[in-house]
Structure 1
Amino acid sequence: MILVLRALGVGDLATAVPALRAVQRAARPGERVALAAPAWLSPLVELVGGLDLVPTAGLTGVTWDLPAPRLAVNLHGCGPESHRLLASAHPGVLWAFANAGAGHPGGPAWSEEDHEVHRWCRLTGHYGAPADPADLALTVPSPVAATGLTIVHPGAKSPTRRWPARRYAEVARSLVARGHDVVVTGSDDEAAAATWIAGEAGLAPGAVLAGRTGVGELAALVAHARLVISGDTGIAHLASAYATPSVVLFGPMSPGRWGPPPRAYHRAIWHGTRAEPGDAPGPDPHPALLRITAREVLEAADAAVSLRCP
């Protein structure tokens, strides 16, 4: 058995797909590849294909109820916590970034400058399992709603990555005028903001899908969508996985670290001067995000849709 750790979110799983596929190719015939990840990601894990899910909510309090793996692969972080968690499963071999403090001095050196997709491809490649950074595609699920929708997704994990709601409303209203069938998505916690945006944009109540879609339904929406407009968050990586035209708005983090693949129909907008190591503190959108105007988002949307090859 091979045990892989990636106990994070939607975007984290989507960006690890090329490396996961490299690990699958390294498996012996008939060998199980088990992914330790949150249970709520199960529908997305199924869309990757060929993985058994081992549910885990994080890095603490985990007790492995499985045979010692032949190989463990750390696609979670640079350690030491994640290294030690995998070591507690007693693998024969560990693939991970070098971390002497976790008793793993071998492996490649961690670099904060890596793009998230390339980081994990570099790791597996170091151990003789080359990965293709462009191998991001997920299985296309059946539609769960109308096809050809334009998805506006205003939410993000932290306030610093959330573009102002009034600007999303302006963009949504203008897209409707351009002939787009717009829906607003988000989590349960984002439903109120999504409802406000839809109202300001003149959308019907049924256009508010926030709080009404699990991760599987969200993937289906994106797979059959006309366009996705969002901040730097998980749905942007689903757009990359399904080659759906997208406009992604970046604030504290540069698209050089988390941006979409270099395709003409994926448009990343960033007005920052340096990439910060993570979400900036504070309750307000990052200054780089506030420099993005509704007009340039609409121009990028027009370009993304026009450049998508049929």
Structure 2
Amino acid sequence: MRSLVVRLDSAGDVLLAGPAVRAVAAGSERVAVLVGPAGAAAAQLLPGVDEVLEWEAPWVGLEPPPVRVDEVLALAERVAAGRFDRALVLASFHQSPLPTALVLRLAGIRWIGADSEHYPGSLLDLRHHRAPDRHEAEAALDLAVAAGYRLPPGDQGELRVSPPPDTRALTGDDPYVVVHPGAQAPARAPSPERAAAAVRSLVAAGHRVVVTGGPEETALTAAVARGLAVDLGGRTDLRQLSGVLAGARAVVVGNTGPAHLAAAVGTPVVSWFAPVVPAERWRPFRVPHVLLGRPDAGCAGTRARVCPVPQHPCLDSVTGEEITTAVATLTTRPAASGAADGASVPEVTA
């Protein structure tokens, strides 16, 4: 059986689809994933993937391209050439899988499954309903299981990527903590001043710090590192970043793709977690982690990309000392089970 898994948005979303992809791979002769440009590099890292198809969908993303009939039909032809027997369309709870399902029907795929709260007509063979408050990784795996796929024996459904490379030439040999100050959505990252304060506090506590960021974030990483930390801004692709994160004692990062990449390589995460999206759906998955921030801030549940509250209190209320304490919690003793609620109170889970 040849199977197609679709996840058209960000790199972090694609990483969270990993357990579902492995379940599909365990029951298929060949697996392809259809992703958008932002998720292609992450898809290349997922175990179980034989082929990556890339397409920028007009119904996904913040600046989507216009709908062009020729491009939609060209995608349908590319998918048809794969001769897929079945397809799963993965999407977040607020997204509709139905436009994608229509294209897959045009491509001749006879069986399609997805989570959908909207009537799908003949577009879906499996209309699955997501369980309330499920983590995004669990929800995707739930859909795969409902479609008849199962994880192979010994696979516990954690996040995984292909073996990370040795990146000591970038980081040096001595132990270090990573600070990743940026995020695709500004609401999910602290201000540069707060991130720099975290670096200063970590260095004062005796940690060696490595600051990471993408090619468009070099000014940010330089401002945060400020000569106190190793600045790797713009110097790693996603695979190299997986090696940097794998070698770290802990990663300090917002709710963004590198948090999920850290989880996929098994590194503890201190998360600047803005409550614009629910923590139960988007927290670092199955690794020890601490959530820092104000879950009761005025931005809670808004899905805002830019903080709607003056002075960004949900994250900029977090001090460098709190970051340092959270790192110590994860690196000097086992993480506690359970959770704590409150403004800038660590939430520690394993």
Fold conserved (TM > 0.5)?
yes
Deviation at 1:287, TM superposition (A): 3.4
* Rounded Cα–Cα distance in structure 2 between residues aligned with 1:70 and 1:88: 13
In the comparison of the two structures, how many residue pairs are matched? 301
Q: Is the 8 A contact 1:137 1:242 kept in 2?
A: yes
Report the CA distance shift for 1:23/1:105 in structure 2 as closer, same or farther (over 3 A): closer
- Which residue does 2:333 correspond to in 1? 307
- Which residue does 1:253 correspond to in 2? 277
Write the deviation string for residues 11-50 of structure 1: whole angstroms up to 9, x where unpaired. 11111111111111121xxx22111124565553343223
Write the deviation string for residues 173-202 of structure 1: whole angstroms up to 9, x where unpaired. 121223322121112222111111111xx4
- Which residue does 2:320 correspond to in 1? 294
Pairing 1:124–2:125 present: no
Counting only pairs closer than 5 Å after superposition, residues 65-214 of structure 1 correspond to structure 2 as 65=78, 66-77=81-92, 78-98=96-116, 99-101=118-120, 103-104=123-124, 106-110=126-130, 113-131=133-151, 134-145=157-168, 146-147=172-173, 148-199=175-226, 202-203=227-228, 207-214=230-237
Deviation at 1:298, TM superposition (A): 1.4
- Which residue does 2:17 correspond to in 1? 16
Q: Which one-letter code corresponds to 1:255 in the other structure?
A: A
- Which residue does 2:303 correspond to in 1? 278
Identity of aligned residues (%): 30
Report the CA distance shift for 1:126/1:258 in structure 2 as closer, same or farther (over 3 A): same
* Rounded Cα–Cα distance in structure 2 between residues aligned with 1:174 and 1:291: 15
Q: Which one-letter code corresponds to 1:276 in the other structure?
A: G
Q: Give the secondary-structure state (helix, strand or coil) at the position aligned to 1:304.
A: helix
Q: Which one-letter code corresponds to 1:121 in the other structure?
A: L
Q: Give the secondary-structure state (helix, strand or coil) at the position aligned to 1:11.
A: helix
* Rounded Cα–Cα distance in structure 1 between residues aligned with 2:131 and 2:311: 27
Q: Give the secondary-structure state (helix, strand or coil) at the position aligned to 1:216.
A: helix
Q: Which one-letter code corresponds to 2:228 in the other structure?
A: L
Q: Give the secondary-structure state (helix, strand or coil) at the position aligned to 1:96.
A: strand
TM-score normalized with structure 1 length: 0.87
Deviation at 1:266, TM superposition (A): 1.7
Among 30, 33, 38, the residue aligned to 1:32: 30
Write the deviation string for residues 90-149 of structure 1: whole angstroms up to 9, x where unpaired. 212112123424633742224673321111111112122245664212222221233533
Deviation at 1:241, TM superposition (A): 0.8
* Rounded Cα–Cα distance in structure 1 between residues aligned with 2:281 and 2:262: 17
* Rounded Cα–Cα distance in structure 2 between residues aligned with 1:203 and 1:101: 55
* Rounded Cα–Cα distance in structure 1 between residues aligned with 2:307 and 2:48: 40
TM-score normalized with structure 2 length: 0.77
